[in-house]
Structure 1
Amino acid sequence: MMTKFLLGAAIAMTLASPAMAQRDVPLDARVGKLESEMRAVQRKVFPGGAGMMVEPQIAPTAPTPTEQTGVPASGALTDLTSRVTSLEQQLAAMTGQIEQNDHRLRQLEQQFEDYRKATDAKLAAPPPVSTVTAPPVGGPDVTVPEAPAPAAASGPAANVVKPSTGDAAEDGYLYGFRLWEAKRYGEAVTALKKVVADYPKSRRASYAQNLIGRAYLDDGKPSLASIAFYDNYKKFPDGERAPDSLYYLGSALVKLDKAADACKVYGELTDVYGATISAKMKADIVKARAAAKCK
């Protein structure tokens, strides 16, 4: 995850900060140190992306004619000192931003961990037994349990056929998708959970975990949906459906009257995946933030 790469870079910068603070070190040593640290940060932020490397602003200059003895080069020295100081300030600002991003991610993870525990506790509690008072039949009133209403059909009566392509992960996901399309949400969740459990390395694991959340959301269970969406972002941050899960997580939180938390999720989505998501999703995020009245 990008924030974890940035955290590693921040640690490297923090360890190097005492050296930058020493203004009595010769300029050539400061420049070499700063350029080395900048390359270390870039390797953390853009692992393997040579094209993303930023060239240092301070580069060797062509040899200049030898100055006469006693003529000071104060102008060039002052300019070089200013540029080195500017570079140090840029590195310090980058370190601060890295630390802020990591702190925000830790806060978000803690909030959802607390929310998960509260939701699990509610789901584990036995439902209250509703009672009705029977009419008197030659004696005192008798309280009897109320019979539950028969469960409504979860989808069309037509059978949903499980595909057989030879790819078990693909077949399992497509089967769960067809059940979801047929509005047989409970069966869809069961089939999709099996895909995630049996094939966590498959690209379809991210798809399946995201669709579990969609099934819960469509079935009127935003609490379970929010947990499923967050699990997809946490377990498969590089998965193809991780951005979608963050977007729908915001929708689930709005349904739970947690608009402030939804706004944080939309911010996380933009920060982490803003460079890769589609133009349509970017437009959807703008609309969702407006609906949630995000600042």
Structure 2
Amino acid sequence: MVGTSQPVLAQSSGDEARIRKLESEVRALQRKVFPGGDGRYFEPEITGTPNPAGVSNPSTTAVTDILIRLDALEAQIASLTAQTEQNSNAIVLLSDRVAAMENGGSAGSTGGAPVTGSGPTSVLPTATSATTTTPTPAPTPTPAVASPTAERIAAVQQIAKPQTDDAADDEYSYGYRLWNAGFYPEAQQQLTMFVEAHPNHWRTTFGRNLLGRAYLDDGKPNDAAPWFLKNYQANKQDARAPDSLLYLAETMIAMNDTNRACIALAEFADNYPAIASGRLSDQYQRNLGKVTCN
């Protein structure tokens, strides 16, 4: 008996090694098909079924255990094979639909099987047989800036630039003289250079206010408004802050923005009541007469 049992044991040991190798390969295949899988996808290891209390199971031989484990492996391999085929089919269908979209046709025209099921159906834009091309509008030519005439250049040169100990004040005064003479573009250029070069000079509040007026008098209220607002907000106690607020209201009137004009006029009356009834009374009343405010 001893002599005949040794080959059986050797054969069982070899079968056990083959079974363990198969189980390892199946687990590797499971991880490949279900990356990051957990208990929702992996069947638990094959273990003996716990016995109810008081009930005993008949003992199994090594061959019976091997057969049970082989059956489990075959079932797992069949499940993985079916899942792989489903995944491959889904990839083919998706590839067909992408190709159909790129070619401007429907998914069915590429030979792929139609997608059916209870899931939502994606609605693709209907392709047209001819591509509609939106004509590119011709660029609007930029109006050429007219060069100043010789007479204008000569007239501007007649405006003398002051020469005092305060160079910054001289820059502002020169801008004022250009504005006062009606050379608004030249005054805009000169005053812009002044306020940018001297943001903290005592004349800067005059310069920003006058720069807004140079634009407003030149028929450019859109360019004037930012300067009036900036001068008012920079320091409401500056010498020309109330002037800029009142001119801002006047600019809004020129732009047909009654709502903002009324807001500016109301704020002017609230913040500067003495000036509204004194130095700027006429201008304030004149602007009030141009709009109807609630």
How would you bin the TM-score normalised by the shorter chain?
A: 0.3 to 0.5
State TM-score, norm by structure 2.
0.47
State TM-score, norm by structure 1.
0.47
